[in-house]
Chain A
């Protein structure tokens, strides 16, 4: 009998994150199978509606990611002398949000080509979404500027608190302005859900799958950020000790 031993200290995973990862994979597999083969085609959009099962959940979870970044940044500002943990959660969540927003833009563009006949239009929803994406790419760029972790937390928190204000603008852009993009079918103001039962079930399975993936990504990315900060500060400490030793010998 072969015994497999694992050294957990070689990764940022725990038993809980491994379970979460498996849940995300199972849910995502179901969404792909159901979205492509089980759900019916739409009466108007035909098979192109299948893109909805990845496009809509990625957009919603990107919003959730950016809101998480805003909340974590707010807490980081209030508790700035205590811990950098919330700042790392903010950064990790923004990274995942940018990934999901990129998926939203690409899948939306492919869906637009099938339904509108064009990959891109300078429509209010598309333009505000692209602006939101660029804002968070800028946020991530600011986080990568040369600075101590404390300086990084201060700078990026301010931008995150401003950037989160764009989300209501993106979501309500289809109501506020004349838009090519359809109005919300589920998260609408009149509470009337205009979707077939199986289609709605697959859509919410997608939301659960993307939520599980989001949680898994954020947990691991913030642990990676913690390791990065530790490496940076221990490197700085070592350099200071070396410099002091040089000064004593001279």
Chain B
């Protein structure tokens, strides 16, 4: 494959940034969920 570095970097940055965003979201959700009672979470 030609230009493999640029192509791999494109895929790596795409998947990596989405993973980081997902992990930060889940961590924030867990931190906040501990301080809020379940009755205030309409999705449960």
Contacts and interface: CB of A to CB of B under 8 A. Distances in A.
Nearest to A35: B11
Interface of A: 8-14, 28, 32, 35-36, 41, 46-48, 50-51, 54-55, 58, 96, 99, 102-103, 106-107, 110-111, 113-114, 213, 216-217, 220-221, 223-224, 227-228, 230-231, 234
13 contacts: A8-B44, A36-B7, A46-B2, A47-B7, A51-B7, A96-B21, A99-B21, A111-B10, A217-B25, A224-B28, A227-B29, A227-B33, A231-B35
B20 to A, nearest CB: 9
Classify the secondary structure of B's interface with A: helix
A28 to B, nearest CB: 7
A230 B38 CA distance: 12
A106 B14 CA distance: 9
Interface in B4-44: 4, 6-7, 9-11, 13-15, 17-18, 21-22, 25-26, 28-30, 32-36, 38, 40-41, 43-44
A10 B14 contact: no
Contacts of A32: 11, 15
Contacts of B17: 99, 102-103
Closest A-B pairs by Cβ, 4 of them? A227-B32, A12-B29, A54-B14, A107-B10
Interface of B: 1-4, 6-7, 9-11, 13-15, 17-18, 21-22, 25-26, 28-30, 32-36, 38, 40-41, 43-44
Classify the secondary structure of A's interface with B: helix
B9 to A, nearest CB: 6
Given A99-B17, A106-B13, A220 B25 contact: yes
Given A223-B29, A224-B25, A227-B33, A110 B14 contact: no
Nearest to B16: A103
B36 A227 contact: yes
Given A35-B11, A36-B11, A50-B7, A12 B33 contact: yes
A10 B11 contact: no
